[in-house]
Amino acid sequence: MRRIGLFGGSFDPVHTGHLLVARTALEGLALDRLFFLPAAQSPFKPGQSLTSGALRARLLRLALAGWTQCEVDTGELERGGVSYTIDTVRAFTRRFPGAALFWLIGGDHLPLLPQWREAHALAELVEFAVVPRPGVAVGPGPGAPFRIRVLAGSLSTIAASDIRARVRAGQSLAGLVPAPVAEVIRNSGLYL
């Protein structure tokens, strides 16, 4: 049975914390493939202004160069509107029939799972792989029918909002984003 990881988010921009989560998930879940899923619009961040989907997907591809088990999937961007996890998971269920699907989720979102669109249907289709966040205790989770697995590994305090603030302040991004991503941000005037 194939093991497929799904990593959704704004990725505005992708940073080394995201890559650390990816490495932890690939190893901790023994994934065959991990898909990065840039959202068109998060249901939890209404009105959030995002960099264009095409540019966010480009930065993800640059960051993942050489990561043979990872791929960028732009299905949510192409669908447009609010990106609901259930729609994406159903698409992957059709694409990979019989595969075990794992949805990566930050520990801060764990208590919100019952509020997700069609949460019970979603719980039947995926196991949630919880990524702990610094300073946020991972509780027992919402219970049945949700299948929860907490990933062990290094935690990152890097946040995309901090990256954007550093760009506006003219500060270095060294070590915070992959070098090709930093170059595109610098050359395009992104986040100024």
pLDDT value at position 154? 63
| Domain locations along the chain | 3-155
pLDDT, averaged across the chain: 92
What integer is the mean pLDDT of 20-29?
95
- Residue 157 to residue 159: CA distance in whole angstroms: 6
Token pair of 153, please? Answer: 């590994």
Under DSSP, the state recorded for 143 is -
Under DSSP, is residue 13 helix (H, G, I), strand (E, B) or coil?
coil
- Tell me the percentage of the chain whose pLDDT exceeds 70: 96
Question: pLDDT tens digits, residue range 90-128?
Answer: 999 999 999 999 999 988 888 889 999 999 999 999 999
Q: Which CATH architecture has domain 3-155?
A: 3-Layer(aba) Sandwich (3.40)
pLDDT value at position 42? 78
pTM for this one? Answer: 0.94
Residues with Cβ within 8 Å of residue 164, at least 6 apart in sequence: 12, 13, 191
Under DSSP, is residue 9 helix (H, G, I), strand (E, B) or coil?
strand
Residue in 167, 3, 185, 187 with CA at minimum distance from that of residue 92? 3
Omega before 111 cis (within 30°)?
Answer: no
- Asked if 43 and 115 count as a contact pair (C-beta separation under 8 A), the reply is no
Classify the C-alpha dihedral 128-11-70-154 as positive or negative: negative
Say if residue 174's pLDDT is above 80: yes
Question: pLDDT tens digits, residue range 63-97?
Answer: 999 999 999 999 999 999 888 999 999 999 999 99
